[in-house]
Structure 1
Amino acid sequence: MKRFAAQTLRERCAAVLRGAGSSEEEAASVARNLVFANLSGHDSHGVGMVPRYVDAVLEGGLQPNARAAVVLDVHSLMTLDGQRGYGQVVGEDAMRLAIARARETGSCICALANAHHLGRIGHFAEMAVAEGLVSLHFVNVLSRPIVAPWGGADARYGTNPCCIGIPLRGREPFVLDFATSRVAQGKMRVAYNEGRRVQEGLLIDEQGRPTTDPGVAVVPQAGGLFGALLPFGEHKGYGLAVACELLGGALTGGGTLHRPADGRSSVVNGMLTVVIDPERLGTGSAFEQEALAFVDWLRQSPHAPDSDKVRIAGEPERTARAQREREGIEVDETTWSQIVAAGGKVGVGVTHP
């Protein structure tokens, strides 16, 4: 494993992104977002995505320097086209517009279609809660199918994340951000690059059989086939994944996944976001009091034998950030060599300090 200071990793990744055609500002923004995912403990959405982004640019599926374009703007309804731009950029465009509109009207329903990989969705919820707003996000994924439907034996859709952000007055917010598969696909890439097996119950192989080999979801197997991740929570997680596909894909106008794998590197997301201002809803005071009372009630529970305390969503990420800012971010040798190779494709030399 190689260890990097966060700023060093930002600079190396931004250099590769500039080489792939991004402006100085865009490269810095995307690199900052990716490294923040690493800092938050989500290496699946961190700098390991850079090689895929470079390949997507070279294939023409990712458009550097594109911004979100407004297609519809009617009171509390907004529809945006991400124009295949970096999701970290057009996603922030969408959230800034949605937040401003929620401040004006009390709420905003924002449909974002055609964004390249949005990265960690919790980032967008954190933008909303920082303004005292509640946000809900439903996302679909147009890329190689990677998750099997409940009762199915091959991949039919993506990891389709769902995210909910809720501010807590005077406290750190509640930020629930999860893939509707049992684990994010990027975590299989990380495990495969690190040469380790994963726990049972996450995967099936290309024949539909249970396996602990993450490679079945990362590289082609026999006959060029892939295995698949399984949905979390059996039929319940599967149902939520379908809802994310229908809301993030069909309702946004971006389209749903109903095609076989094509081997391309682009990852296109649609995201339906709902932003609510509790004050404009008329329940601001009660919301603040009841939210804090409930969280305090949860924390009063005696912790289980294998736990040190009761936590709420968002705490593990904040703990990881403090530790990794202090100790640095580890990147496995395989992932680092892939980043170096990506730099080479766009004429950028990348070195470890």
Structure 2
Amino acid sequence: MNDQYATQSMSLRIAAGQLHAFVRAIWEQAGSAPREAELVADHLVASNLTGHDSHGVGMIPRYVASLREGELQLNQHADVVRDAGAVLTVEGGKGFGQVVAFEAMELGIERATKLGLCAVGLRGAHHIGRIGHWAEQCAKAGLVSFHFVNVAGDPLVAPFGGADRRIGTNPFCAAFPSTGRPPLVLDFATSAIAYGKARVAYNQGKRTPVGTLIDHEGRPSIEPKVMMEEPFGSLMPMGGHKGFGLAAMCEIFGGALSGGYTTHSGSLQNTSAIINCMLSVILDPKALDAPNAGAEADAFVEWVKASPLAAGTDRIYAPGEPELAMRAERGEKGVPVDLATWQQILDAARDSGMPAADIEAWSRGARSSHGVR
């Protein structure tokens, strides 16, 4: 590895509490109310703790750029524009997704607990981040949920058989609560990798896996710069035609059914904003005639995990277990942030209006937290 790549691959290990406090401070400096800054910090740091650095604190520079462009709107709240009982339509108003999605899920949880079921259409939210966060919010209330999300007007992924970017990374997520154990949580982008993972690889001087990217001429590539430097390439859909098909349904369900919009020639945007629409279906399992649902789910998981291990495998993970293991490890050892991303965050803190002396103090504290590795 050359000196440039060696430097890029180095990272800080920052205690989660210290990182959370810094994120809060950045957004309070930018103008967020304390509760908004807290919810944003909760979500971003939790994403890093679970190993999803693509949706963690590395998003701060893009959020600050969106704010400076007049796109991200601070101190906005979920606005219920239609209440049909078991169906709620919520406008996000380009407010922080970490706030409006939290509030939309709170409304849906309350309604599903009362009625047994609630569908929530959230539209026009500024980046709602890691969707598993919202499924976990529902699971903590004992509720099943599944979520279809689109990234409106911001194509990054080539369709199956196509050679340029036409659709978003369009996540799908589902969660099933369990008694006495963490919930089962399935959460993935319908692209072969999330866009943020290409950004992380680019900052770290690493390559991306084979089959995840194509360049601007439609040729396979393992260089993340095709997503970061012009002329731009595209992400590939996960699982070929199957991932593309699911991405298309996320686009329609999340974008169209929520009352938001889908990605097409008339909706393309060229700003730093990330606009998400999400259709969430939240279900109280007690409303169904399924008294053994939890036991049956547990029996299935135990059956699957008892399979003889394939060569090179040390264990079989149920959905959500890799994140739990990562959360424990990073909670103890600190959150890794590569030096390029850390400098981008410090620059964003400056752009938010934070005094240079405060930024230097935060940076010194981070470097002394767990060191550089």
Counterpart pick for 2:115 among 105, 108, 117 = 105
Which structure 2 residues correspond to residues 226-245 of structure 1 after superposition, within 5 A?
226-245=232-251
| CA–CA separation in structure 2 for the residues paired with 1:144 and 1:247 | 17
Any idea what the Cα deviations from partners look like across 1:28-56, whole Å, max 9, x if unmatched?
21012101100000000000000100111
Counterpart pick for 1:271 among 278, 281, 294 = 278
Counterpart pick for 1:335 among 341, 365, 372 = 341
TM-score if structure 1 supplies the norm length? Answer: 0.96
| CA–CA separation in structure 1 for the residues paired with 2:155 and 2:229 | 13
Helix, strand or coil at the partner of 2:292: helix
| CA–CA separation in structure 1 for the residues paired with 2:63 and 2:86 | 33
Aligned residue for 1:194?
Answer: 204
Which structure 2 residues correspond to residues 197-208 of structure 1 after superposition, within 5 A?
197-208=207-218
1:145 offset after TM fit, Å? 1.3
Q: 288-297 vs 232-241, which deviates more? A: 288-297
Aligned residue for 1:49?
Answer: 59
2:315 aligned with 1:309: yes
Helix, strand or coil at the partner of 1:176: strand
1:70 offset after TM fit, Å? 0.4
Any idea what the Cα deviations from partners look like across 1:226-252, whole Å, max 9, x if unmatched?
100000110000000000000000110
AA of the residue aligned to 1:90: V
Counterpart pick for 2:332 among 303, 326, 333 = 326
| CA–CA separation in structure 2 for the residues paired with 1:143 and 1:20 | 26
Aligned residue for 1:120?
Answer: 130
**Unaligned stretches of 5+ residues in structure 2:** 1-10, 366-373
Counterpart pick for 1:132 among 137, 142, 151 = 142
2:156 aligned with 1:149: no
Structure 1 runs (4+) deviating above 4 angstroms are: none
Helix, strand or coil at the partner of 2:286: helix
| CA–CA separation in structure 1 for the residues paired with 2:105 and 2:268 | 30
AA of the residue aligned to 1:280: A
| CA–CA separation in structure 2 for the residues paired with 1:57 and 1:296 | 47
Identity across the alignment (%)? 49
Is the contact between residue 143 and residue 266 of structure 1 (CA under 8 Å) also seen in structure 2? no
Counterpart pick for 1:246 among 233, 245, 252 = 252
| CA–CA separation in structure 2 for the residues paired with 1:177 and 1:33 | 15
1:282 offset after TM fit, Å? 2.3
| CA–CA separation in structure 2 for the residues paired with 1:166 and 1:206 | 40
| CA–CA separation in structure 2 for the residues paired with 1:128 and 1:347 | 36
| CA–CA separation in structure 2 for the residues paired with 1:309 and 1:197 | 27
Aligned residue for 2:4?
Answer: none
Is the contact between residue 204 and residue 230 of structure 1 (CA under 8 Å) also seen in structure 2? yes
Any idea what the Cα deviations from partners look like across 1:156-214, whole Å, max 9, x if unmatched?
11100000000122222110000000111000000000111112110000111111110
Helix, strand or coil at the partner of 1:9: helix
AA of the residue aligned to 1:247: F
Is the contact between residue 153 and residue 262 of structure 2 (CA under 8 Å) also seen in structure 1? no
Is the contact between residue 40 and residue 317 of structure 1 (CA under 8 Å) also seen in structure 2? yes
1:217 offset after TM fit, Å? 1.1
AA of the residue aligned to 2:125: A
Aligned residue for 1:96?
Answer: 106
Any idea what the Cα deviations from partners look like across 1:110-162, whole Å, max 9, x if unmatched?
10000000010000110111111100000000253110000000001110000
AA of the residue aligned to 1:71: V
| CA–CA separation in structure 2 for the residues paired with 1:21 and 1:58 | 12
AA of the residue aligned to 2:28: R
Helix, strand or coil at the partner of 1:186: helix
**Unaligned stretches of 5+ residues in structure 1:** none
Is the contact between residue 237 and residue 244 of structure 2 (CA under 8 Å) also seen in structure 1? yes
Aligned residue for 2:306?
Answer: 300
TM-score if structure 2 supplies the norm length? Answer: 0.91
2:189 aligned with 1:179: yes
How many corresponding residue pairs?
A: 348
| CA–CA separation in structure 1 for the residues paired with 2:23 and 2:255 | 30
